[in-house]
Amino acid sequence: MADIKKTWYKEMCVYQIWTRSFCDSNGDGIGDLPGVYSKLDYLKELGVDGIWFSPIYPTPNADYGYDISDYRNINPEFGTLDDFKKILEGAHERGMRVFMDLVVNHTSDEHEWFKESAKSVDNPYHDYYIWRKGKGNRPPNNWLSTFEGGAWEYNPDIDEYYLHVFAKKQPDLNMDNPKVRQEVKDIMRYWLDMGVDGFREDVITFISKREGLPDGIPLPVATGVEHYKHGPHLEEYLDEFKRDVYDHYDCFTVGEGPMSDIKMAKDFVTEGPNQKLNMMISFEHMNANCFMVDWVKTPFNLIKLKSTLSKWQYGLYGKGWNCLYIENHDHARIIERYGNINYRVESGKMLAAMYFLLCGTPFIYQGQEIGMTNILLDKLSDCKDVMTFNNWRIFKKLGYSEKRFLKLAKDVSRENSRTPVQWSEAENAGFTTGKPWFNINPNYKEINVEDDLKNPDSILNFYKKLIKLRKENEVLIYGKYKEYDHLNPFLYTYERVLGNDRVLVVCSFKEGSVRFKAPKGYDLSKGELVLSNYSDNKIVNNGFVTKPYEVRVYMFK
């Protein structure tokens, strides 16, 4: 095998918390840190080794925390710094690490730096952001935001525009300014010194913009992205952060890289003197049922999914490390994307094993472990996400009625992953005793943590087994990956091999049955079935006929 360096971050399984919808302790309808604290034992029981908090800093909530107004404090809706320190201590006591979301491509427009920067062109903070003169009555270039219309906002007081590649309340920082990089490094140190174990770095690959900010190729959204998706100084700045900060701590970094490809990932995560990040969050494998962005739906294509996963598995093996995920706060629930709601439990388990047993560090998003599903919102005014409203403007122009749009949103929007976690059958799913800030999925009486904990065949208990299995078998962490039967449009079959240990993972993405035949060199009768989602696991002719969304994991020693 390639010589893989063993380290803690490769062996862990991370749980992502989007605090607002996790657990409310004080009845104000909003999830909070004491709520998280009350669930630390639950997370420990599940078997996770680390918690990643989506941003929990003060924020005006234009993008629910991805618009930070103070990098050194806690959103008062969620609690206090002391509440956070208590979690840090509680997590560490239980052997779990804590990771913060570091959002430094942009701040909130309510951050002090921005308020100062907007006061005058001579203000010392002016150059913290990307301000430019317009071209006559027009903005400085044709860039469009990912979230809402143009990427420039005019400030008549100083007769300049500022750049925001996301919402207009998220002005982009000018990372070319050494003072800004110094601030960023100080923020990193502030949290690391407090005991935080690392960062998930939000759209970190966008932080360097091409000099001169040239016009971009016109697109429906994000025009100009080619000028900052991998900007000229990105690598230099990441090297600087690593050299000046990360190298001095036992911490880990996972960088979000929208539109990143395997080549870029290799450049960034290959271990050695030029490594910039420990892992990269790629979006490619989330495009198996859409074209480029979630809102442009296409039929699910297993071969596309397998091609992408295999490309990253082969590409990084022995060089760097993969970040494995199938859900987060930016996507609809996976069962409704790659699984089948009519086989919620079966497909939920199959999908879990499918990604979890690949080579990399698996991330679980809150609610994924009980197979939470999407939500149909009745009216636009029930929606919460800036991206939904932006898409409404686009789809309205295409002739969509509100009703038709909400039906589409039910399949693709980020609202789906942001409904409160369903803890029990109690009122408001046990999430809050007050009025929840956002609709609770009405299916909480059938889908909730309490029931899943009691039911040995639940998705939750399947995740527990999966986490334990991975932890107890190095082959599932460091083993080499190989895919079989690539052109099969219904089955995903792969192996992991380490020394004499071999594991064969067979996943069916079909509602009907498919004949699976073990690859050459495998005798199923000699293997131990270590995980499956049906109780009948007969082997016929060194294979089997699959049941809907069946998964089997055989181990050979």
Shortest reach from residue 254's CB to ligand NOJ, in Å: 12
**Residue with Cβ nearer ligand NOJ (171 or 479):** 171
**Residue with Cβ nearer ligand NOJ (163 or 359):** 163
SS3 155: strand
Shortest reach from residue 143's CB to ligand NOJ, in Å: 15
Q: Tell whether residue 100 is a contact of ligand NOJ (CB under 6 A).
A: no
Ranges within 240-259 binding ligand NOJ (CB under 6 A): 256
Shortest reach from residue 83's CB to ligand NOJ, in Å: 23
Q: Give 538's contacts (C-beta < 8 A, 6+ positions apart).
A: 544
CA distance 470 to 477: 7
In the set 101, 202, 385, 495, the catalytic residue is: 202
In the set 256, 284, 385, 411, the catalytic residue is: 256
Q: For this structure, is 550 an active site residue?
A: no
**Residue with Cβ nearer ligand NOJ (203 or 302):** 203
CA distance 109 to 170: 6
Q: Tell whether residue 63 is a contact of ligand NOJ (CB under 6 A).
A: yes
* Given 15, 22, 52, 66, the residue binding ligand NOJ (CB under 6 A): 66
Please name the helix (run of DSSP H) or strand (run of DSSP E) that holds residue 494, with its range, or none: strand 491-498
Q: At which residue do the structure tokens 């294979």 appear?
A: 543
Shortest reach from residue 105's CB to ligand NOJ, in Å: 7
Task: Supply the DSSP symbol for 173.
Answer: B
Token digits for 97?
């690490």
* Given 166, 325, 438, 556, the residue binding ligand NOJ (CB under 6 A): 166
**Residue with Cβ nearer ligand NOJ (66 or 343):** 66
Q: What is the DSSP string of 188-256?
A: HHHHHHHT--EEEETTGGGS---TT-------SS-TTGGGTTT-TTHHHHHHHHHHHTGGGSS-EEEEE
CA distance 93 to 83: 15
* Given 56, 203, 350, 406, the residue binding ligand NOJ (CB under 6 A): 203
Q: For this structure, is 127 an active site residue?
A: no
- The separation between the first and the last C-alpha atoms of the chain, rounded to the nearest angstrom, is 16
Ranges within 291-330 binding ligand NOJ (CB under 6 A): 329-330
Q: Tell whether residue 356 is a contact of ligand NOJ (CB under 6 A).
A: no
- Give the torsion through C-alpha atoms of 281, 284, 288, 292, to 10 deg: 120
CA distance 125 to 114: 7
Token digits for 370?
């009980």
**Residue with Cβ nearer ligand NOJ (71 or 556):** 71
**Residue with Cβ nearer ligand NOJ (52 or 246):** 52
Shortest-Cβ-distance residue relative to ligand NOJ: 66
CA distance 74 to 191: 12
Shortest reach from residue 103's CB to ligand NOJ, in Å: 6
Percent helix, strand and coil across the chain, each to the nearest 5: 35, 15, 50
Site string for ligand NOJ, 107-146 (x = CB under 6 A): ----------------------------------------
- Which positions are annotated as active-site residues? 202, 256
Q: Which residues bind ligand NOJ (CB under 6 A)?
A: 63, 66, 103, 166, 202-203, 256, 329-330
